[in-house]
Amino acid sequence: MDRQITVFPMPKTGKISLVVAPRGVVQTLMSMLATLAQRGRVIVLDGGNCFDGYALARALRRSTHQVQAALKQVLLSRAFTCYQLVAMLAELPVDGTPVIVLDMLSTFLDENVHFTKRQRLLANGLNLLRQISAGAPVAIWARTRSSPVGDEDRQLLIPLLETAHDIWELQAPHTLEHQLPLF
Amino acid sequence: MLEFTGWLLDLFEDPREGLVLYFIDEDGARRRLIYPFPVTFYALGSDVELRALWRHLSNRPREITLRRTQRMDVFKRRMVMALAVTVQNPYEVSKVFRQTAAHFPHLEYADADLQVSLRFAAKTKAFPLSRCRVVADEDHKLETIDILEDAWVLKTMPIPLRIMTLSPDVAPHHARPHYLKAAIGDEEYHFDLQTWRPLLVNLRALIQRYDPDLLLTDWGDTWLLPRLLQQSEKYHIPLGLNREVGRGVSWHEERTYFSYGQIVYRGQQIHLFGRCHIDRQNAMLWDDYRLDGTIEVSRITALPLQTASRVSPGTGISSIEMLTALREGILVPWQKQQAEMLKPAADLFTADQGGLVYQPHIGVHKHVAQIDFVSLYPAIMVHFNISPETILPDPQGDNMVPALGLAIDTSQDGLVPKALRPLLEKRIAMKKYLASKPSWDPFRKNFSRRASALKWLLVTCFGYLGYKNARFGRIEAHQAVTAYGREALLRAKEAAEDLGFEVIQLYVDGLWVQHPDKTQPADIEPLLLEIQARTALPISLDGIYRWVVFVGSRQDKNRPVANRYFGVFQDGSIKVRGIDARRRDSTPFVSQAQMHLLELLASKDQPEEALPEAIAFLQERLRALRHRQVDLSDLLVRQRLGRKLAAYRTPSPAARAVLQLQSVGKEMRPGQRVPFLYTLGRPGVFAWDMPQRPNPQAVDVARYQRLLLRAAGIVLESWGWDEKRLTEKMLSDASQLKLPTLPKPHPEKHGHQVRRLTDSQASHALSGP
């Protein structure tokens, strides 16, 4: 995946960028994060426990010697429930700091919470993101799964697609079934 | 006026009478009392929102009373304004709450979904199975209840429980049971499962006659009781499973969930009213701590016995914390909103490290002392006051967490330490008791099972601090515990090295140390004192090994693996970790053989002296395997179904076994363990619970041979017999013995000589490095 797509357009204030892609996109997102971190503070909300600190450090090292300083610019918080994710969004400082939400839908696939409740919470979260995006760049990654959780993945993705201004949909590259003959 | 001393057996909500309580009177009577018991939940939000809720609920004054109040929110670390909604009948509270939450989804709620037994224990201090003095009026309405033994006493009065056991003659998922065995004390009855009417009539008579307090069943949740109830309805013969008249049984659905990265399946449950039902096959850790431990869990967590028997230790810990919160007037959040603090990514590298591991030196080590911190993580939580509300984000004061940019507020006891302290103290007291008493001590078995139940609660409490759904969990508190743990282990290592010991392995809460002159427990005492002085945490000597072997990884035997070892203590007892003898997915054939090899090694002063016997034993086991003399049930592998069948790209052996079962209409859920045999050809497995018998000739002998020799190689490798060498000697031409040490025989006598070679001679011929 990261061999095919190496750069996303940087998120812009006033817009919500959405990347719909499988897990392999994390490396690329860390590269984008590295670029943002060298410009200033950036907030990362991780909804799928998928923040890869080592990949970020590697991406930073490719362009700066000040890796530690850049790592300190990335402020991270992980959500393990949909309640937590929405609570985090509600508490974010609105000061123009770019916000990246990783694997936003993962916590909303929690079978322990009634589906309509999750839909409502997601709508709340997207409202908050709209408000934040008015003063800061916002990018969201929605992870696609190889074995979707029933129809819920799709139903939860729809409001995200409706909210986003730019949408990047990436698919995992097709793997060859077998080794091609040399001649 | 009714006064008596007894034990609180069961309590539950009733639509008409509020709370119903069943007691075992010490005079032998069983008593039913009622108790009007209003319960309160809280709504939190803005004044406008709370006012709207007040308006919505204020038109039901007979059922609900409302008041504004202030309660403690531990996450906000201050009192917050709340609307207290008091529901007169506890039976109605969940309905009122559901309706309220549906109408006002934006509000936060607290104390909303708590077990009534927790609320009752918080108010009266009386918990399930507590011994108490009870006063009731002439209408059997509870007036006062005073506990005579709290949950933390070590020696308790035995409860005169009347127990009836019910079990089918065979596991129902494996084969069709023929009869039902009912036992009360020494009496035992067998009922034919083909003729339901007499079974129901007789069982009903037995239940009426003995009026048991506890129905202890096998497969009662998932097979027996559902069938009994179905037939009881069909034949119109009520069984009287409940002691409470007019109530049906309570069904709880089966479920599958993730715990510590593993998928877990829990079968459906059937709970009774006024009587308890425990299904031994569906009870939590029954094999480990039995009824004694289950009673201990019930008393400590304040959960009714039949609930306590089925909940995970995590739920147990959660109940203890919620009970503490209720007693302290702290809000128990319905849905925890509080999330991880924003922290620099750089901090994640230091914060998210887990326990400290120092890889072992591979091979045999003699006179190694194993020293363990006693319940390290709970002890850290208690000693350093780690709780969600005591974590301070800004570095300040002297109570900085090692290596993390966090501090601990020690100005007042945290909720979690407050909940854990008595539990930890009781566990330590029980351990001390067990260590000080001989093996014939009459309380030993009871104490050992109860101590095991406490151990599981304590083991879980740390993980629960970081669990996403824990009401009082917080990731920073979780990280602080491991940070203190790493620091404690490092200090222990330094103390050991300062006293001249060599450290062989460090593993999270234990260290293995060696000193050529310090080989007796008394020699280790100064080290224990030194570590305790440097860490302020309790530590104890687990034992001194005569020898211990740390084995390498399966992929690369030169690469050390933490916590994979076996050894023999000075008292002859064997300890194993991470090898087949300990693994739940090993076949009994392999794990028993591996354990026997260890016992052989342990039986000699020098383990190498046991090698001829060990080799002979392996030959005998292989011979038995090849001649189909091993019981098929000893070849069973029990693997967990990791996901739904459709989610497998390449079905695992367990999944293939489940596919077989599916073809005969037997369903398995993810998280269930599937017993099967490895067989020749496709699909390579035979599900044990198939209706037909397995063909012994189809067993994949070669595969079991490999498993056996691999397990044997792990144990014998340090003495020159690794898997490869064992395989070469035993499976290729090992049976064609070369006899280089024997005099060259006359051609005519050669065959005679070979025939006369005894097994032990053969094993001698095979032994040696």
Name residue B147's beta-bridge partners.
B132
Rounded Cα distance between B212 and B160, Å, is 11
Q: Over 80: is that where the pLDDT of B757 sits?
A: no
Q: Over 70: is that where the pLDDT of B38 sits?
A: yes
Residue contact B105–A120, C-beta within 8 A: yes
What's the mean per-residue pLDDT of chain B?
91
Residue contact B346–A72, C-beta within 8 A: yes
- What is the pLDDT at residue A124? 95
Rounded Cα distance between A48 and A32, Å, is 18
Q: Which residues contact B65 (CB under 8 A, 6 or more apart)?
A: B38, B86, B88
Q: Which of A77, A80, A112 sits opposite B341 (nearest CB)?
A: A77
- Amino acid, res. B560: P
Rounded Cα distance between B459 and B310, Å, is 17
Q: Could you tell me which residue, B645 or B733, shows the higher pLDDT?
A: B645
Number of domains observed in the structure of chain B: 2
Stretch B735-752: mean pLDDT:
44
What's the mean per-residue pLDDT of chain A?
87
Cβ atoms B316, A63 nearer than 8 A: no
Confidence of residue A175 (pLDDT cuts 50, 70, 90): low
Least confident of B137-141, B438-442, B584-588, B753-757: B753-757
Q: How far is B519 from chain A (nearest CA, A)?
A: 45
User: Considering B578, B607, B634, which residue would you say is the last residue of a domain?
Assistant: B578
Is residue A66 helix, strand or coil?
Answer: coil
Q: Tell me how many residue pairs between chain A and chain B have CB atoms under 8 A apart.
A: 64
Pairing of strands B269-271, B343-344: unpaired
Three-state helix/strand/coil letters over B392-457: ECCCCCCCECCCCCCEECCCCCCHHHHHHHHHHHHHHHHHHHHHHCCCCCCCHHHHHHHHHHHHHH
CA-to-CA separations, B726 to B600, B615, B731, in angstroms, rounded: 17, 9, 8
**Percent of chain A predicted with pLDDT > 70:** 87
User: Considering B549, B578, B607, which residue would you say is the last residue of a domain?
Assistant: B578
R_g of chain B, CA atoms, integer Å: 30
Q: What is the pLDDT of residues B83-114, one digit of tens each?
A: 999 999 999 999 999 999 999 988 999 999 99
**H or E stretch including B230?**
helix B225-235
Domain containing residue B398:
350-417+471-578
Q: Over 60: is that where the pLDDT of A67 sits?
A: yes
Rounded Cα distance between B35 and B11, Å, is 10
Q: What is the pLDDT of residues A122-160, one digit of tens each?
A: 999 999 999 999 999 999 999 988 766 568 888 999 999
- What is the pLDDT at residue B737? 46
Q: Over 50: is that where the pLDDT of B284 sits?
A: yes
Question: Count of CB atoms within 10 A of residue B211's CB?
Answer: 13
Q: Report phi then psi at B450, rounded to 5.
A: -65, -40
**H or E stretch including B63?**
none
Q: What is the pLDDT of residues B605-635, one digit of tens each?
A: 999 999 999 999 999 999 999 999 999 999 9
Query: Which DSSP letter does residue B330 get?
Result: B
Q: Over 60: is that where the pLDDT of B768 sits?
A: no
CA-to-CA separations, B393 to A148, B267, B405, B664, B676, in angstroms, rounded: 38, 43, 7, 59, 53
- What is the pLDDT at residue A171? 72
Query: Which DSSP letter does residue A13 get?
Result: B
Stretch B200-217: mean pLDDT:
97
- B469: nearest CA partner in chain A: A81
**Percent of chain B predicted with pLDDT > 90:** 80
Confidence of residue A9 (pLDDT cuts 50, 70, 90): confident
CA-to-CA separations, B622 to B552, B577, B635, B736, in angstroms, rounded: 25, 25, 13, 15
Instruction: State whether ipTM is beyond 0.90.
Output: no
Instruction: Report yes or no: A79 at the B interface, CB cutoff 8 Å.
Output: yes
Q: Over 50: is that where the pLDDT of B521 sits?
A: yes
Rounded Cα distance between B618 and B471, Å, is 53
In A38-67, the residues whose Cβ lies within 8 Å of chain B are 43-44, 51, 53, 56
Residue spans of beta strands (DSSP E) within B424-559: 502-507, 510-514, 539-552
- What is the pLDDT at residue A70? 95
CA nearest neighbour of B409 among B380, B436, B389: B389
- What is the pLDDT at residue B584? 87
Residue contact A77–B348, C-beta within 8 A: no
Question: Count of CB atoms within 10 A of residue B25's CB?
Answer: 15
Q: Which residue has the tokens 């108010």?
A: B123
**What does the domain layout of chain A look like in residue ranges?**
16-169
Q: Report phi then psi at B715, rounded to 5.
A: -75, -40
Q: What is the pLDDT of residues B350-387, one digit of tens each?
A: 888 899 999 999 999 999 999 999 999 999 999 999 99
Residue contact A77–B346, C-beta within 8 A: no
Confidence of residue B756 (pLDDT cuts 50, 70, 90): very low
Residues, chain A, total? 183
- B646: nearest CA partner in chain A: A147
Instruction: Report yes or no: A75 at the B interface, CB cutoff 8 Å.
Output: yes
Q: What is the pLDDT of residues A72-121, one digit of tens each?
A: 999 999 999 999 999 999 999 888 999 999 999 999 998 888 899 999 99
**Percent of chain B predicted with pLDDT > 70:** 94
For domain A16-169, give the CATH number: 3.40.50.300
Least confident of A48-52, B89-93, B133-137, B257-261: B257-261
Residue contact A78–B336, C-beta within 8 A: no
Is residue B326 helix, strand or coil?
Answer: helix
The two tokens of residue B261 are: 């990265």
The answer, yes or no, to whether the previous bond of B612 is cis (omega within 30 of 0) is: no
Collect all residues of chain B within an 8 Å Cβ-Cβ radius of residue A149.
none
Question: Count of CB atoms within 10 A of residue B160's CB?
Answer: 12
Cβ atoms B234, B271 nearer than 8 A: no
Q: What CATH number has the domain bearing residue B364?
A: 3.90.1600.10
Q: Which residues contact B709 (CB under 8 A, 6 or more apart)?
A: B618, B723, B726, B727, B730, B731
CA nearest neighbour of B212 among B341, B65, B30, B423: B30
Rounded Cα distance between B87 and B40, Å, is 6
